[in-house]
Amino acid sequence: MFLKGKTAVITGSTSGIGLAYARAFAAEGASVVINGFGDAAAIETTRGELAAASGAAALYDAADMTQPDAIAAMIERAARETGSVDILVNNAGVQHVAPIDQFPDDKMLAIVQINLLSAWYAMKAAVPHMKVAGWGRIISTASAHSLVASPNKSAYVMAKHGLAGLTKTVALEVAQAGVTVNCISPGYVWTPLVEAQIPDTMAARGLTREQVMNDVLLAAQPTKAFVTPEQVAALALFLCRDEAKAITGANLSVDGGWTAM
């Protein structure tokens, strides 16, 4: 349990990739703070499972990722109740699919706020704690769309490209503080976020569900297989090891070969 005594805060972690991160960190002894939406009883069950796995604290914080004050308060609560904030994973995300001339402004703003600006505010709040400790890991879930584009995803691609740039910049700022900053760029991972965008893509492109799955989503991945949340979490876990301390400012693809094309 190489993370025993450390605390990981993971945004957007009540399901999907975020929950896989939380489980991976808890299995290595870290206290975890999960965040996101969902059924209260199910979240409490998950919280209890994480605490049992780690033998350490497991907290749930309902901070709204569109509210800077709530994000900062979550980081401060984590530090106060567990004693530190050592690992920050920016994973909260939303998606909407539409051509730019039909893209609702409110959807665009929500995507930018949750996928990009929430990470900026969380980093701003967490970095001082990591500097004091002389150790920290900041990991953001970007996307293959931080490197390439797809039609009808203007806001998402804009936000994820921005997240990759934010990662590089903050990595340079804390390079001598014992803190690394990286992003992981998965291809299509079978999560509720991906499943939820299928109807929009069906409507936007006039395709069936099967056509969206095979001809749109998996068409980009030479492996013709979805990435799993556990595969993404395994890379995040490695980035927390001492062996990975020279990896910073990197955008690491886990995309079945998508961006190799």
Assign residue 30 the CATH number of its domain.
Answer: 3.40.50.720
**DSSP label at residue 116:** I
**DSSP label at residue 189:** B
The predicted pLDDT at position 98 comes to 94
Q: What is the mean pLDDT of the chain?
A: 96
The pLDDT of 186-210, averaged and rounded, is 87
Tell me whether residue 196 is in a domain.
no
Tell me whether residue 249 is in a domain.
yes
Greatest distance between any 2 Cα atoms in the chain: 54
* Per-residue pLDDT tens digits for 164-177: 999 999 999 999 99
* Per-residue pLDDT tens digits for 135-165: 999 999 999 999 999 999 999 999 999 999 9
The predicted pLDDT at position 190 comes to 83
Which domain range does residue 55 map to?
7-188+227-254
Phi, psi (degrees; rounded to nearest 5) at 132: -65, -40
Q: Which amino acid is at 25?
A: F
- CA atoms 103, 105, 106, 111: torsion sign: positive
Contact 11, 60 (CB under 8 A): no
Q: What is the 3-state secondary structure (H, E, C) of 48-65?
A: HHHHHHHCCCEEEECCCC
The pLDDT of 204-227, averaged and rounded, is 89
The predicted pLDDT at position 219 comes to 87
* Per-residue pLDDT tens digits for 77-99: 999 999 999 999 999 999 999 99
Tell me whether residue 177 is in a domain.
yes
Lowest mean pLDDT among 23-27, 47-51, 124-128, 203-207: 203-207
Q: What kind and span of H or E run contains 80? A: helix 68-82
Contact 181, 219 (CB under 8 A): no
Closest listed residue to residue 6, CA positions, set 111, 106, 137, 114: 137
pTM above 0.85, yes or no: yes
Question: Cα 22 vs. chain centroid, distance in angstroms?
Answer: 11
Total count of domains within the chain: 1
Tell me whether residue 201 is in a domain.
no
Q: What kind and span of H or E run contains 94? A: none
The predicted pLDDT at position 238 comes to 98
Token digits of residue 154? 């203007």
Residue 183 — very low, low, confident or very high, per pLDDT cuts 50/70/90? very high
- With 80 as the cut, is the pLDDT of residue 236 above it? yes
Tell me whether residue 122 is in a domain.
yes
The predicted pLDDT at position 250 comes to 98
Contact 152, 97 (CB under 8 A): yes
Tell me whether residue 159 is in a domain.
yes
Catalytic site residue from 21, 60, 121, 156: 156
The predicted pLDDT at position 253 comes to 98
- With 90 as the cut, is the pLDDT of residue 63 above it? yes
- With 90 as the cut, is the pLDDT of residue 106 above it? yes
Q: Tell me which residue has tokens 């014992």.
A: 178
Lowest mean pLDDT among 101-105, 120-124, 190-194: 190-194
Tell me whether residue 15 is in a domain.
yes
Tell me whether residue 213 is in a domain.
no
Q: Tell me which residue has tokens 């740039």.
A: 165
Q: Which amino acid is at 155?
A: A
* Per-residue pLDDT tens digits for 185-196: 999 998 876 788
The predicted pLDDT at position 200 comes to 84
- With 80 as the cut, is the pLDDT of residue 197 above it? no
Provide the Cα torsion 148, 191, 253, 120; round to 10°. 80
156 is catalytic: yes
